[in-house]
Structure 1
Amino acid sequence: MKAVDLQLRSVQVRFLNPDGQEEQLPLEVAAEVAFENCGAIRRIPHRADQAHTPSTHWSSTTNRMIECESYLESVWMTMLDFDPEVIGFSGQPMQLSGVDNRGAWKATPDLFVRRVDGSATVMEVKNPTRLNDAKVRATAERVAACCAVAGWGYELVGEPPGRQRTINVLALAGYRREMVGVSGYRAQLLALAREPVPLGRLVSFTAEPLVARAVVLHLCWTGELTVDLTRPLEDTSLVQLAVVDSSTGERR
């Protein structure tokens, strides 16, 4: 049965508002809630025998800690932090419940993502080996149907596309926090990178190459410098000052 065949009835959304108070609203009303600012609606279980690894993720987009249920979920959070189109996201901020022609059901989607254009996407993150699991697909169809009613996008995802790009973004994430006391290096490195220059050569122009390397990698994270992330990040990687589109303000 496809999501379009589901006859959704009485769908309720339970969530914690930004003050930590629990609320419950009909789906059509809850569509107006900024779920990217809400905390997790449920406590993520921690057990010694579980296969996944729950943790907390510091988001450079929201400047707060967000709980995640697995390592794969934390990887997706890092990719969202790196995406300039994303202005906010949260982990498991809502529980959907309702009745349809299959019966009563509940679901707690993994991620709620808000983009710069105001659009929102609900993401369900699963181990790639489970993407075709019947139970996973059935839940996905229900949640996708709810998202269509609310005007949100829906994605059921495994690993992020582009393994090398993911590896590089995770490496750059180690330099995502704002750096203090490096304004001189920042200006110098941006000026030196007006034309493509190998990363190793760029940092060698400075008095403190190790500090300069950290600054360069931070600037690659923020998008002020560009580098080909589809290839291994090495000293030979060409780094260049990002070009800003005057009509949109976007870097490329």
Structure 2
Amino acid sequence: MTSQPFSVQEQSALAPPLSTGRHSADPVRMMARFVDALGVEHEVPWLEAAGEQALEECPPIQQFPVLKGRRTAPGWWWSATNRRLVPYGFKAMRTQVMMFDHDPRVVALACRPVELLWHGRGGKIISHAPHLMARLADGSGLLVDCAGRSGAGRRLVRRAVRLEAAATAAGWRYRLVGPPPRVVEANVRWLAGYRHPRCAGAGWLR
């Protein structure tokens, strides 16, 4: 795992074997669930969703719960990239929304717009909604899961292998990322405040 959004870390040693079935871990057989702009839920093959749907325009497929003891509640981040508010679920997600919003390679982003489904061991259906989805300037997509400073849990690390395979099959990328250095995070947060429309005169910060 890394603090840099577009770098790779191999996690394959922790992954169980792939299985088969309608929601198979085989990317060709994986399914994707999302809600369109009219609020209609769809479940289609993952490769179809990745190739034909503007997932960055979809609302979150899952609600962000308020959890007792969590210091940062769900909220909204003003995205200068999207020119609108983007919902987030927890602190690490908010940090990565901020970082990707600052990256010139990103042209749109959304939090949890799609859920992937596949069969695990014993035929059990496994579902996972990556924390972020970003549309890149080259037209490809990027799926992101966010870990805090304590690192990612083993379940997320295992699923990351499946998700990376699914993203690669669609011509996308997947990254499991940790937080940036604290100084970088603080600087980007400070700059982000000046990218809001209320500071429209500060065009040099765009």
Indicate whether the TM-score tops 0.5.
yes
Quickly name the TM-score band, shorter chain normalised.
0.7 to 0.9
C-alpha separation in 1, matches of 2:78 and 2:140: 23
Give the CA deviation at 1:66.
1.5
2:66 to 46, 50, 65: 46
Q: Which runs of 5+ in 2 are unaligned?
A: 1-11
CA distance in 1, matches of 2:93, 2:66: 15
Answer with 1 or 2: which has the greater Rg.
1
Once the two structures are TM-superposed, the CA of residue 4 in structure 1 deviates from its matched residue by: 9.4
Question: Which of 126, 142, 153 is the aligned partner of 2:147?
Answer: 126
SS of equivalent residue, structure 1 residue 19: coil
- Asked if residue 83 in structure 1 is aligned to residue 103 in structure 2, the reply is yes
Name which structure has the greater RCO, CA cutoff 8 Å, separation 6+.
Answer: 2
* 1:17 and 2:36 are equivalent in the alignment: yes
C-alpha spacing 1:102/1:118, structure 2 compared with 1 (3 Å): farther
Whole-Å Cα distance in 2 between the matches of residues 21 and 119 of structure 1? Answer: 24
Gaps of 5+ in 1: 183-214, 223-252
Contact 1:54/1:67 (8 A) holds in 2: yes
Measured in 1, the distance between the counterparts of 2:119 and 2:71 equals: 31
Out of 179, 191, 203, the residue aligned to residue 159 of structure 1 is 179
Q: For residue 6 of structure 1, what is the aligned residue in structure 2?
A: 18
Q: 2:50 aligns with which of 19, 31, 48?
A: 31
Does structure 1 retain, via aligned residues, the 8 Å contact 2:146–2:178? yes
TM-score (norm 2): 0.80
Q: Residues 1-252 of structure 1: matches in 2 within 5 Å?
A: 2=13, 5-7=17-19, 9=24, 10-32=29-51, 33-101=53-121, 103-104=123-124, 105-131=126-152, 133-160=153-180, 162-179=181-198, 182=201, 215=202, 219=204, 221-222=205-206
Contact 2:16 2:158 in 1 (8 A): no
Q: Percent identity?
A: 28
Q: CA deviation at 1:165?
A: 2.4
- State the TM-score, normalized to the length of structure 1: 0.66
